[in-house]
Amino acid sequence: MSGQPVIIWDKAEDCTVSDRWGNRWIDWSSGVLITNAGHGRKEIRDSLREVIDHGLLASYVFVHERRARLTQMLRDISPDPENYRVFLLSTGSEATENCIKLSKTYALKKYGSRKKYFVSFNHAFHGRTMGAQLAGGSEEQKEWMVDRDRTFVQVPFPDGYKNEDTSFDLFLQTLNEKGVQPPDIAGVMTETYQGGGPDFLPVDYAQKLEALCREHDIVMCYDEVQAGFGRTGKMFGYQHYGVRPDLIA
Ligand SMILES: Cc1ncc(COP(=O)(O)O)c(C=O)c1O
């Protein structure tokens, strides 16, 4: 990693971290949004210890009860449990990669190879693996690929300042300029809010996007790697928009 501050973390408790020489800091970074329950939380430590002591530390194709319980719990907290299925992965990048793969596979099987585009937004971040970067909105992070898969297309994000035009018309107009028609789109993915801002979609924009996706059978993916699990005040951030994504990373 580049850009690392020259301090060495040693211990952490709740929102405080310390080094070995007695310096202490408040961790405003919250582990870049992954330690919202606090560092070293007792319930998490106890559960980890229980799993380690139980002995079953690996299973790939075999079912085990804890995994079934976890997937059931994840379904139960979703707004519409009967319509959600859960697929457990290890990282956010894997989750967004799989959103791409599932969207494109669905489109290919149902409509053939013409429905091939994957649309996402400028300035978006979906991870550091190849597919996640192709869907990401940073040109700089894609330079290493040299020849790119041109089925990945970005449009301006309606943040209101980097792009002042927050109308949904700009989404359609940009795609039209790039020669992409809605029936040829396999999937659309957006961060629920762009973490780089933070920037939210206007509610009516999110709803128009959902309507377009439903009309053209486009898989709508919400990347909740930053927004999920209560971090915006609702269990899932997309609930603020009144939409129901097909895939949630
Ligand atoms: C919105 C978003 N999507 C995807 C990712 C990638 O997650 P991971 O680093 O676990 O691969 C991140 C990581 O910061 C993220 O913020």
Q: Is the per-residue pLDDT at 74 higher than 90? A: yes
Q: Is the per-residue pLDDT at 32 higher than 80? A: no
Question: pLDDT tier at 5 (50, 70, 90 boundaries)?
Answer: confident
- If we measure between CA atoms, which residue out of 213, 211, 205 comes closest to residue 182? 213
Question: pLDDT tier at 248 (50, 70, 90 boundaries)?
Answer: very high
In this structure, the residues whose C-beta lies within 6 A of any atom of ligand 1 are 91-93, 96, 125-127, 191, 195, 223, 225-226
pLDDT at 37: 86
Question: pLDDT tier at 2 (50, 70, 90 boundaries)?
Answer: confident
Please report the atom of ligand 1 found closest to the CA of residue 127.
Answer: 6
Q: Which CATH number fits domain 90-248: 3.40.50.150, 3.40.640.10, 3.40.50.200, 1.10.1240.10?
A: 3.40.640.10
Q: How far is the CA of 95 from the centre of ligand 1 (A)?
A: 9
Q: What is the pLDDT of residues 93-135, one digit of tens each?
A: 999 999 999 999 999 999 999 999 999 999 999 999 999 999 9
Q: Which residue is listed with tokens 């997309």?
A: 238
Q: How far is the CA of 54 from the centre of ligand 1 (A)?
A: 30
Q: How far is the CA of 81 from the centre of ligand 1 (A)?
A: 25
Q: Is the per-residue pLDDT at 36 higher than 90? A: no
Q: What is the pLDDT of residues 157-190, one digit of tens each?
A: 999 999 999 999 999 999 999 999 999 999 999 9
Residue pair 75/84 in contact by the 8 Å Cβ criterion? yes
Mutate to test the pocket of ligand 1, among 1, 89, 125 (most ligand atoms within 8 A of CB): 125
Residue type, 14: D
Q: How far apart are CA 82 and CA 221, in angstroms?
A: 18
Predicted structure pTM score: 0.93
Domain boundaries, given as residue ranges, for the chain: 11-57, 61-88, 90-248
Question: pLDDT tier at 226 (50, 70, 90 boundaries)?
Answer: very high
pLDDT at 215: 98
Angle between helices 203-215 and 169-177 (to 10 degrees): 50
H or E stretch covering 53: helix 42-54
Residue nearest to atom 3 of ligand 1 (CA): 126
Q: How far is the CA of 104 from the centre of ligand 1 (A)?
A: 21
